[in-house]
Amino acid sequence: MLDLRLIRNEPDLVRAGLARRGEDTSVLDEVIALDAEHRSLTARRDGLRAEIRTISNQVGALHREQRADEAGALQEASRALGAEEKELDALSDALQDEITQRLLRLPNLPAAECPDGDGEADNVVVRVEGPAPDSYQPYQRVPHWEIAEQLGILDVERAVKLSGSMFVMYRGAGARLVRALCQLAIDRNVDLYEEIRPPTLVRTDTMVSTGHLPKFVDEAYHMERDDLWAIPTAEVPLTSLGRDEIAAAPDLPRRFVAHTSCFRREAGSAGKDTRGLLRVHEFDKVEILAYCTPDQAADLHAEILHRAESIIAELGFTYRLLDLCTGDIGNSAARTFDIEVYAPGADQWLEVSSVSWFSDYQARRANLRYRPEDGTGTAVLHTLNGSALAVPRVWAALVEVYRQPDGTVAVPELLQPYFRGQTTIG
C-alpha cells in the first residue's frame, strides 16, 4: 500500500510514478479529495470531543457548588454535542474505509531504475547465457508433452478425469523429477534461509497483505465455507509471518525458504499455452523471501537473483535475464528481474523465476515494522522474494533439453544424487 502521507505531501511524485505504469491517476485525485474531507471531518469531531470534556469538567464543578440547575442545562448541551460527535465519528470511520479500499487497489510506484515501457515487448534483455537456441538437435525439438507421454512420466488424461482441465499428474520418474528439483532448491538455500513449511490455506487479510487481494480475486481459489484462500505462492504466508510484529534492527535481514503447492485459476487463459505444463492450476514451487531495512534492499535483491539464477545455470539451460519494464512489473513490485529458459521442443522462452523488490508496499499492508538501532520509534520494513525454483516449466525444459537420440531423457548430474543412482529416464 502506498504511504498516505507521501500522497498528501508529494502528490506530483506519486502521480508521475503511477503514470509510468500507465495507470489512470484519477483514483489518486479521489484519494486526495477523500483524505482532505476526512481530515476536516476528524478535526471537527476532535473539536467536539474537546468541548464535551470541557463541559464535563464544568458540570462537575457546578455539582460541587450545588448549582444543579445550571449543571443540568450544561449536561443537556453535552448530550446534543455527544450525539453529533458520534455521527461524525461514524462518518470518519466510513471515509477511512473508503480511502483504504482505494489505496488497496493502487499499485506500487516503480523504482527509478525500472525501465519505462508499455508491456512485455519493452522488457530489457540484460544478457543471454548458455548454448545458442539454434544449437539444439532435432531429437531435442520434441515438445515435452509428447516426450512425457512416450515415457509414461506425465499423465494428463487421468489428472483431467480426477480434477478437470489444466491439472496434471506426474508418474514414476516424472514424480521423482519434481521431488528432486524441489529438494535441490531447498538444499541450495538452507545455508542462509530458514526453512518454513507454511499452511497452503490462508485468511483473507493474509492475501491482502501481499497485494493478491482485492485486485486479483479472479485468479485465486476461495473456499467460501471457511473463508480461506489457496495460496498462489508461498510468498503469501511468508510475507505475513511477522505481521503486526516489530523486528529488531540487528536481526535483519530475515530470510525464509519454503516448498509448497501453489494454486492459480489462470482466469482468461483459455486456449493459451494450455498443452503440457506451460500453464496449470496446481504446481510445486520453492520460494525464497526476505525482510530487510531500506538500506539492505539492493544487496538482498542481487543475492536472491543470484541464488535463483545459479541453479538454472548449473542445470545447463539456455536462459536470459530480463529487467521488466514499468508496464509489465507486478502490481506490488517496484523492480523485477525475470529468468526465462529456452525450451527447444516448445520453441519458447519460459519464465521460470521472478525476483522482485517490493519496497515498503507489502510491509505497509502487512504492518511489518522494525525498530532502528538508535531506538527512536519504528519504521516500515522492505520485502523481497523470488522463485528459487518453480517446477512445471523447469521440468518441461529439462525433459526437452536432456532428451537423447534414443528417446530417453538423461538425468542431469546435478540431480542424480536425488535419483538413487538412476542416470536415465526411459
Q: Quick check: helix, strand or coil at residue 285?
A: strand
DSSP string computed for 364-386? HHHT-EEE-TT--S-EE-EEEEE
Active-site residue flag, 163: no
Catalytic pick from 188, 335, 393, 403?
393
Catalytic pick from 15, 171, 351, 371?
351
Report residue 230: phi and psi, to 5°: -75, 130
Separation CA 228–CA 178 (nearest Å): 27
Catalytic pick from 264, 365, 369, 403?
264
Catalytic pick from 84, 279, 282, 371?
279
Task: Provide the Cα torsion 276, 281, 282, 283; round to 10°.
Answer: 50
Distances (CA, A) of 373 to 179, 249, 290: 42, 6, 19
- Tell me the β-bridge partners of 205: none
Which three three-digit cell numbers place residue 414? 546435478
Active-site residue flag, 158: no
**Pairing of the two strands 369-371 and 348-357:** unpaired
Distances (CA, A) of 211 to 103, 107, 206, 232, 382: 11, 8, 9, 12, 14
Active-site residue flag, 51: no
Which three three-digit cell numbers place residue 289? 523471501
- Residues 6 or more apart whose Cβ sits within 8 Å of residue 191: none
Active-site residue flag, 351: yes
Going 254 to 259 to 260 to 263, the CA torsion angle's sign is positive
Which three three-digit cell numbers place residue 63? 455539582
Q: Which helix (H) or strand (E) holds 305?
A: helix 297-314
For 409: left if phi > 0, alpha if psi spans -120 to 50, otherwise beta; the answer is: beta
Separation CA 52–CA 178 (nearest Å): 67
Q: Quick check: helix, strand or coil at residue 55?
A: helix
The edge-to-edge listing of strands for the beta sheet with 194-196 is 124-129, 319-323, 335-343, 348-357, 382-390, 282-292, 254-263, 194-196
Catalytic pick from 209, 354, 356, 387?
354
Which three three-digit cell numbers place residue 294? 531500506
Active-site residue flag, 279: yes
Active site residues: 264, 279, 351, 354, 393
